[in-house]
Structure 1
Amino acid sequence: MEDQKSKKPLRRITNVRIPDKPSSTLWDITINDGRIASVNSHVKDSDGPSEDTLDGGNRLIAPSLCHAHIHLDKCFLLQDPKFSDLQIESGDFTEAMSMTGEAKSRFEENDLMRRGARLIEESIQHGVTAMRAFVEVDGVVHTKCLDAGLKLKEMFKDRCEVQICAFAQLPLFSGQDGGEEVRKLMSSAASMEKVAVLGSTPYVEDDEQKSKDNVKWITQLALKYQKHLDLHLDYFLEEDKKPLVWDTLDMFKELKWNEKAGDRQITLGHCTRLTRFRNDEWTHLRQEVGDLPISFVGLPTSDLFMMRTPENVRGTLPVVELINEYGFNAAIAVNNVGNAFTPYGNCDPLTIASLGVGLYQAGTKKDAELLYETVSTRAKAAIGCDSTSLTLEPGQPANFVLFDRMDSGWHCRKSVVEVVYDAGHTRQTVFRGRLIASKDTRT
């Protein structure tokens, strides 16, 4: 790996196209202390090349990408030789839970670090500078995944903001010990300063009351330690099963999240049952959410592979509609890479945005720009990162991705729309004003 720490901060990025301007116009961006200082019309530099200036070569520059939801400890299980005996046979949720449970029983620090570093490294190469990384905490792995996640966070701190979510995939109130061990481990994790988020999966509990207990307990814990909250919620499609989202919203209000949580955010992931909502239910949900700081995160590749009824009905959150019709903040995310929950796909969030063009019938310029936001600026907002926008305003973090090479010719991606349709093979990633990665998969 190239020694990225040797890279000096950039003072300027010149000769670039930016998303909200005509593609024929070129711009220069000045950077100060890791943030955008100004954006001005391009002026040819008479001084020649310098160490603190990056010539964009007429390329498109846009806000960097973000994983709003990705599992750091369960990645690449289907590719890693250590787990080569664990291969998909039925492809359903029960098998995925069983296979992953068996893999978790073999987790050790060396493979967690090896696989996790690979995921972060590949993500950076694609243009990711922030991610919410889920690591499981339970009686099987204890704190192995959490410990590895915190080491990876430190290892990559100069190249990517790795936000650690201590995650209870297993029940908090069901099982032989009633979830007591998981609750103790999660309480310990919550007390750690570098753990930014707490998460759980209420739907794995034995019954509806225990699912409600799960939500209440993890919410109280997040409030106690001032953490963001991220719930895997309503991960089913059957219309005859009541979604938990209504009781969950009531609990957030009863526990006074808005008064007690400061600037901490709530994120609700999957929520596939909500895809069966009628218009009046969506409108009611908008009213019930009110001013709670809630974002929804759709996970289309996992949802389409895992979620199907006997009639082969499939569903994933209609994020474009959620944003345009009902005013929610929403994002889409990769979720899993190379495991039984999602065996296909890679670490590139733009593959999910591109899938969204067909999935949501979102092919217009406005749609494509919105889809880019759902894996970039809106994704960052969903996980509580610094606010950014496609307009690249002064004061925003200097976290960018540049597309294509200087010799790409007429097929050079000149706009965000073209990037969402087909992101291409070549990117450069800038994090806090430093060039941290270059990628070109063409031969």
Structure 2
Amino acid sequence: MPPPTLRNKLTSIKGVRLAGSPSTWNIDIHYPPDSPRGIIQSVTPHNDTTPGDDSIPAPLVLPALTHPHIHLDKAFVHSARQYAHLLPSTGSFQEALSFTTEAKQQFTVPDVLQRGEWLLAESISNGVTAMRAFVEVDHTVKHVCLEAATRLQNQWKDACEIQIVCFAQDPIFSTQYGEENMDLMQKALEEYPQIDVIGTTPYVETTIEAAKRNIDWAVDCALQLDKHLDFHLDYNLDSGKEALVWYVLHSLEQRGWTSSATTKRVMLGHCTRHTLFTDDEWCRISRIIHENDLPVSFVGLPTSDLYMAASPEQKVPHDRPRGTLRIPEMIRKHDLDAVMGVNNVGNAFTPWGPPDPLFLACLGVGIYQAGTQDDARLLYECVSTRARAAIGLSSSPSSIDLKKGQSPDLLLFHHRDLTGCGVARPCGTVAEVVWDPPATVNRNVVIGGRLKSSGFSCSQSESIYHFSGE
């Protein structure tokens, strides 16, 4: 499958709506010499008096979407025929681990390439132009997933910026395979310069001591190699288990990993155990991070967390708590950097949900009871600008207002009739986009100033685009 076709460079997009503005605007795009990617040169009021069809609302333009945490190698296992015998039967976490381990024994480079292309094609069509992609390295798959990921990273580089995570899903300091897994991780880091991030899963180690060794090794290695760091952490709802977040923060502090010392960042994913923390404990986390200038972000993964993170104590048959990080509260109340990610799609860990970050933002409205227009804006930021900054790809973590100098990675929402009834409901605000995400056919993606061909164009929406050479 070839990457998507990108059309000629856009010089301007005219007569569009922006976040929080009822009027229409023009976006002019400039291209530095010898650069395939443009920058926004100006955002100015649209004063065109040319007669037009006023019944067609102007499309809304927002920053493109981001996957801050997604597993490329395990995507759509349930859609590949060779894994049909591994569909969930109990839906438990242990079953997901077992079935995934069995599936990994069949992974080949062509197989991972095919399923990775499915993920990329659908994600980009939804509006994703950057992702942090986890690929596992261990005694089962060795470097198969990593090899496929580096090929995809190169082949799809014009359409999506792919950060590769060299990921130790399995133990590296315990079990009979720990030493082999560690050797494979170290060789991968030596042989694949395309790796951007080191990732581990401390909680899979057999002892708390081994889990802490896992953390220290990952911190040391990432600092030494100047890589980002990403932990799957505290994925349980068991108040009797020690939360490892305190040790992670201690390890970072002891080793001097600060925002002023490096541009590399640390991400903590899942962290469902933290939903059991008191307000004082959250205040303590915030204080440690800010007082020590730690570049730490949290990513909530609600589709997986709600499906998998069950409490070990079920006193009443119908009492089955679920847990996922309360992202808006972490941002607003505790001044923490927090975002949302898709995590898994189409496998035993998460058999439901599409690779569409807007689906997550919409889900967040219900999970967090976040139904105001300000909430919608924040939720969009958490799958867009905040997510991009959290993985180290931009320095402006919050604003979805388009400004001069920004990269023209954009998502436009049109109003094409999908009903066959000759009517199209307008969707002109951030809240409308988050509350009821428009179908992919009503989304146009601009990547670095170039419009992705969607196959769903129509003359009414095409008139806003102006290309070089016209």
Report deviation, 1:110.
1.1
User: 1:434 aligned to 2:450?
Assistant: yes
Question: What letter corresponds to residue 396 of structure 1 in structure 2?
Answer: Q
Question: What are the residue-to-residue correspondences of 1:151-166 with 2, within 5 Å?
Answer: 151-166=151-166
What are the Cα deviations for residues 253-289 of structure 1, in whole angstroms up to 9, with x where unaligned? 1111128961001000000000001111110110111
1:35-434 equivalence runs, <5 A? 35-44=39-48, 58-177=58-177, 179-191=178-190, 192-258=192-258, 262-290=262-290, 291-309=293-311, 310-311=313-314, 312-388=320-396, 389-405=399-415, 411-425=425-439, 426-434=442-450
Q: Does the 8 Å contact 2:259/2:295 carry over to 1?
A: no
Once the 2 structures are TM-superposed, how far is the Cα of residue 77 of structure 1 from its aligned partner?
0.8
Task: Give the match for residue 30 of structure 1.
Answer: 28
Distance 1:193 1:206, change over 3 A: same
Preserved contact between residue 223 and residue 261 of structure 1 (Cα < 8 Å): no
Give how far 1:313 is off: 1.8
Distance 2:259 2:403 in 1: 31
Amino acid in structure 2 at the alignment position of 1:39: V
**CA shift in 2, pair 1:199/1:413, >3 Å:** same
Q: What amino acid is the match of 1:180? A: E
**TM-score, scaled to structure 2:** 0.88
Alpha-carbon distance in structure 1 between the residues aligned to 2:335 and 2:455: 36
Structure 1 residue runs of 4 or more that deviate by more than 4 Å after TM superposition: 1-6, 406-410
Unaligned runs of 5+ in 2: 32-37, 315-319, 458-470
CA distance in 2 between counterparts of 1:431 and 1:277 reads: 40
1:51 corresponds in structure 2 to none
Query: AA paired with 1:397?
Result: S
How far is the alpha carbon of 1:20 from its aligned partner? 3.0
SS in 2 for 1:322: helix
Structure 2: distance between partners of 1:94 and 1:249: 28
Alpha-carbon displacement from aligned partner over 1:369-403 (angstroms, at most 9, x marks no partner):
00000000111011011245311111111000011
What is the identity, as a one-letter code, of the residue corresponding to 1:412? P
Asked if structure 2 preserves the Cα contact closer than 8 Å seen for 1:116 and 1:152, the reply is yes
C-alpha offsets along residues 239-266 of structure 1, whole Å, 9 cap, x if unaligned? 1212011111000111111289610010
Query: Structure 1 residues 350, 208: CA separation in 2 closer, same or farther (over 3 Å shift)?
Result: same
Give the whole-Å Cα distance in 1 for the aligned partners of 2:453 and 2:200.
33
Q: Deviations over 1:75-111 (max 9, x none)?
A: 1111111111111011111100100000000001111
Shift of 1:3: 7.4
* Cα pair distance change 1:39/1:260, threshold 3 Å: closer
Cα distance, 1:411 vs structure 2: 2.0
- TM-score (norm. length: structure 1): 0.93
Check conservation: 1:398, 1:432, Cα contact below 8 A: yes
**CA distance in structure 1 between the partners assigned to 2:189 and 2:328 by the alignment:** 33
The Cα shift of 1:407 comes to 5.5
Is 1:354–1:421's contact at 8 Å kept on the other side of the alignment? yes
Are the aligned partners of 1:201 and 1:231 in contact in 2 as well (CA < 8 Å)?
yes
Q: Structure 2 CA distance, aligned partners of 1:427 and 1:437?
A: 11
- C-alpha contact 1:428 1:439 (8 A) present in aligned 2: no
2-side partners of 1:131 and 1:436: how far apart? 17
Distance 1:45 1:194 in 2: 50
| Distance in 2 separating the partners of 1:411 and 1:68 | 31
Report the secondary structure of 1:258's partner residue.
coil
**Over aligned residues, Cα RMSD in angstroms?**
1.9
SS at match of 2:85: coil
- The residue identity in structure 2 corresponding to 1:398 is P
The one-letter code matched in structure 2 to 1:109 is V
Aligned partners of 2:336, 2:435: CA distance in 1, in Å? 24
Q: Distance in 2 between matches of 1:159 and 1:229?
A: 24
CA contact (8 A) 1:223 1:260 kept: no
CA distance in 1, matches of 2:84, 2:424: 44
Amino acid at match of 2:123: S
Identity %: 46
Q: Specify whether residues 410 and 144 from structure 1 end up closer, same or farther in structure 2 by C-alpha distance, changes over 3 A only.
A: closer
Aligned partner of residue 333 in structure 2, secondary structure: helix
1: CA distance, partners of 2:40 / 2:6:
21
Please give the alpha-carbon distance, in whole angstroms, between the structure 2 residues aligned to 1:99 and 1:316: 24
State the alpha-carbon separation in 2 of the partners of residues 437 and 125 from structure 1: 9
Query: CA–CA distance in 1 between the matches of 2:362 and 2:27?
Result: 28
